[in-house]
A and B are shown apart, each in its own frame.
Chain A
């Protein structure tokens, strides 16, 4: 606790530090406390821990783990405080292209790159989600082996992920976008399952390839914008990577006779950016990296991967291409809808054919991410808000799904559905959590996942009418695969139960205390956001309204 207190002081000091010598005297609550602090702390811890010998590492694991947990609580405290206005009054009721807690420091002046951060209704829920998930993940995977390096990596992952969400500069955005790959790569590589080598490389290369295409799109876009003067503009290139400038330029030129870019140019760039985001999302047919990565990844990695990393794709879509190329969105609307539908249906159907629990859950993520695409294709604020809330809700539910899978793997040494029966007998807690998570994921009302699905379907009908039968079919299939998997794990087994062969006749234990704590936190928040969705949805709704006012309404499409 002393350590924790010390860290709070340090973080507070650091929050003020960048503002020294800046004419803007407001405190920077983002750069250091939310982004820099976790990354730096974890980098120090990693550098420190990796030098130690194996035996020393084991001794050091406990204090480092505790330290990491304390450190990860600080961003959570700050983001929560920012939401409830405990630290300062933050006006979350923002117009389009306005951001709270904006801060900008020049970085690479020659090409117009700045460290520009800020949050709005789109990014803040994701930031909070990340800050929330990191400590939960740490608690959940408290007993992971090699904790001296494992938990700092989780912390680093969190910092990088927050960086993606707060970046208001395309360059910065891309930097964090790629930075997230590295801790995840190591998490899979060092703590993964049997095929971790293949999975880690596939994960890295697949998403890297896609984001490289995205980068080309960004660079082309960069040079296609009008030159300007100002601190954000590059001294050499005369262009800027600043998103806010891009957005205001785009919305100034868009949708009228005075076209920002030629239509086909918009289409090409939109497609290039979308490829990067669709792979990250992931949408069928670019999804095959995900099951491999998930199945091999350690629990904590999976939780963050599914909880936040996938949402980077959705976030990116909403943040960049749609805001800049609304014409292209309308052009691609049906294609996006089709991809969304295919992801939704295909993910669910393949789920039903899986025998590996984690693989099934991974495919269910694919399916759920399709919902986001449907929301985007719906062209309704409610659809967009649904996409946002889906990101958020799935960000709480899917970590729980993977936490359950992880605990299952941990205690039963098996991932096969049907390798055992009657889990409820030995592991009642795990059975309850599993059932809870499964139910939350299949969209049971009053749990977080339902609202988003409902809203998406509402927005979906006026545009696409009877195609709604496919999502409907998926609702049933989702129930089918979840229930079927529960029937073959939690239930049955007779009075004696059938423990899996992988245990060699030992009595399976119930989950550990830390797992219990981690899961109960996730469960509680799933319920909270299911019953009181307005906590998060209010902000999201305001954002969508501002977005539609700012982007679509101008041209009156």
Chain B
């Protein structure tokens, strides 16, 4: 279905995103409602203006923005999920003139669900992690400050969500980039949200500067692409890619850098550990999941949709060696660095780097799609994309879950040392066990979701390397495509990774809680709820992954790679 911007169908199709917009606007407005009156000029008539002035007690409550933001996210997510599960999802394209701007399909909806789910968890956690204070008596000024701060936080979250949705929906690279910038700018502030602490401010600065440079590079790449092809429409670029000159290749490299930063691929990942360490844990969790997924969309769009050789040609994609190198370096770097890291947040950051490497390895395999004798049908590429989608989805469950547990620890003061976790399983067995399960999932221990995702990623790589050679009868080892070695590299890396994941478990179960952490954990109903949701998802998605795999396949099919 095609629709013009702002047509009736447009509003219907974009109802969930509109919910976000409405929520955003409400968050702007509601905290500011007050007793301000507008004096009609030259008269003494004061008309209640309701905007500004002494804030109403009810609307000015510091707790309100959090609830509003969370509710908004929840509603939007709910609408999307219902729509997807109902099968009521139809491909809707938004055009403006001859330019295709946005498109709702299984792929974009899938990512939107990832984003909203991650941000919803983070916002639920933030309700406790950045608590709204209650004020007794006449402290309206402090109350207003707190309210402002709360409103800021959730506005930024919703903005991030909106920007990310835009990335998922866009059919034009520039639109994609605008969305990316929207989300990025919001996350820069979120990272620096703890401006009262040195670490918070520092991490914000670093994340901002490196991110800006990376997006500058990416934008420059886009401009070169525009120069080469005269359009940034995905369809146009994809159709004309084969005719591109060297300029297109340069542009591809530059754009890769832009997205590489988002997925935190080595060597563009340096700011990520610092940012994660300085930011609130829930925010860091969003960076590690949603933000990474956003970068992944970019990579999929640019590498798979645009820069893939057409069916029927002989030869693999131009970027295959580049991406193979990047992926191996990334996963190895991430794992090696995490191996000795004693800060759990940095460790998770490095592990998230490693996970980016895994996904890039899978992307690499798609590049081998038409390589020589590996004559793989299109569903091989779809299988890989589906595996990546699965991985991104379940990351929300266990990586974010791990960050949320750290968030719970931060509530009692910092989680930047491994010893903060010590004895967690004794202080709170359920949380400790949850954390251990998240760690096992990250390490890829069956039957958890993390195993399934790694399994699917590897299986898809292997399947591409094998191709459909069975018809040839006896296959010898040299007939396999070299991307098989990427699978091996992944395996070796996951083996390394077990070491540091397990260390967390050991610390939690074996060590004695450090001074000042002998008491039970702070309660935090909603952050615990978020953790439990993550826990359940980690287990359920591992045990019965079928539904999600189907979803992923539908999403991958809607990319129409073939």
Contacts and interface: CB of A to CB of B under 8 A. Distances in A.
Contacts of A260: 474
A227 to B, nearest CB: 7
Given A178-B446, A262-B479, A220 B495 contact: no
B476 interface: yes
Nearest to A175: B446
Interface string A105-123: 0011111000000000000
A236 B498 contact: no
A179 B456 CA distance: 19
Interface stretch (B48-56, B85-93, B401-409, B502-510): B502-510
A446 interface: no
A185 B510 CA distance: 12
Contacts of B327: none
Given A208-B498, A216-B491, A236 B466 contact: no
Given A220-B462, A223-B459, A262-B479, A179 B446 contact: yes
A262 to B, nearest CB: 3
A110 B495 CA distance: 26
Contacts of B456: 111
Interface stretch (A198-206, A381-389, A480-488): A198-206
Contacts of B440: 182
B479 to A, nearest CB: 7
A109 B553 CA distance: 13
B473 interface: yes
A179 B498 contact: no
A265 B509 contact: no
Interface string B156-191: 000000000000000000000000000000000000
A220 B379 contact: no
Interface in A159-183: 174-175, 178-179, 181-182
B495 A223 contact: no
A216 B505 CA distance: 26
Interface in A256-291: 258-265, 267-268
Interface stretch (A1-9, A71-79, A189-197, A330-338): A189-197
A513 to B, nearest CB: 31
29 contacts: A50-B430, A51-B430, A108-B546, A109-B546, A110-B549, A111-B456, A111-B459, A175-B447, A182-B440, A185-B505, A189-B505, A189-B510, A201-B502, A204-B502, A205-B499, A205-B502, A208-B443, A208-B495, A209-B498, A216-B491, A219-B462, A220-B487, A227-B468, A236-B383, A236-B549, A237-B463, A258-B473, A264-B476, A265-B477
Contacts of A109: 546
B450 to A, nearest CB: 12
Given A236-B553, A268-B477, A212 B494 contact: yes
Given A110-B553, A236-B549, A224 B510 contact: no
A111 B484 CA distance: 19
Contacts of B455: 215, 219
Contact of B473 (A51, A189, A259): A259
A80 interface: no
B470 A225 contact: yes
Interface string A199-242: 01100110011001101100110111111000000001100000
Interface size class of B (residues with CB under 8 A): 35 or more
A225 B430 CA distance: 43
A548 interface: no
B535 to A, nearest CB: 12
Interface in B277-336: none
A13 B479 CA distance: 52
B239 interface: no
B8 interface: no
A178 B430 CA distance: 22
Given A109-B546, A237-B383, A224 B475 contact: yes
Contacts of B475: 224, 261-262, 265
Contacts of A491: none
A418 to B, nearest CB: 31
A186 interface: yes
A263 B495 CA distance: 28
B478 interface: yes
Contacts of A196: 510
Contacts of A107: 544, 546
A-side interface mostly: helix
A204 B546 contact: no
Given A51-B430, A262-B479, 4 more contacts: A219-B458, A222-B462, A225-B470, A262-B475
Contacts of B466: 220, 223-224
Interface in B423-465: 429-430, 433, 440, 443-447, 451, 455-456, 458-459, 462-463
A201 B488 CA distance: 23
Nearest to B386: A236
B287 to A, nearest CB: 28
Interface string A47-58: 000110000000
A219 B444 CA distance: 15
Given A110-B549, A200-B506, A224 B470 contact: yes
A554 B447 CA distance: 37
**Cβ-closest 4 pairs across A and B:** A262-B476, A209-B495, A50-B429, A175-B446
B424 to A, nearest CB: 12
A112 to B, nearest CB: 11
B142 interface: no
B4 interface: no
Contacts of B514: none
Given A205-B502, A212-B494, A181 B458 contact: no
B509 A110 contact: no
Nearest to B550: A110
B545 interface: yes
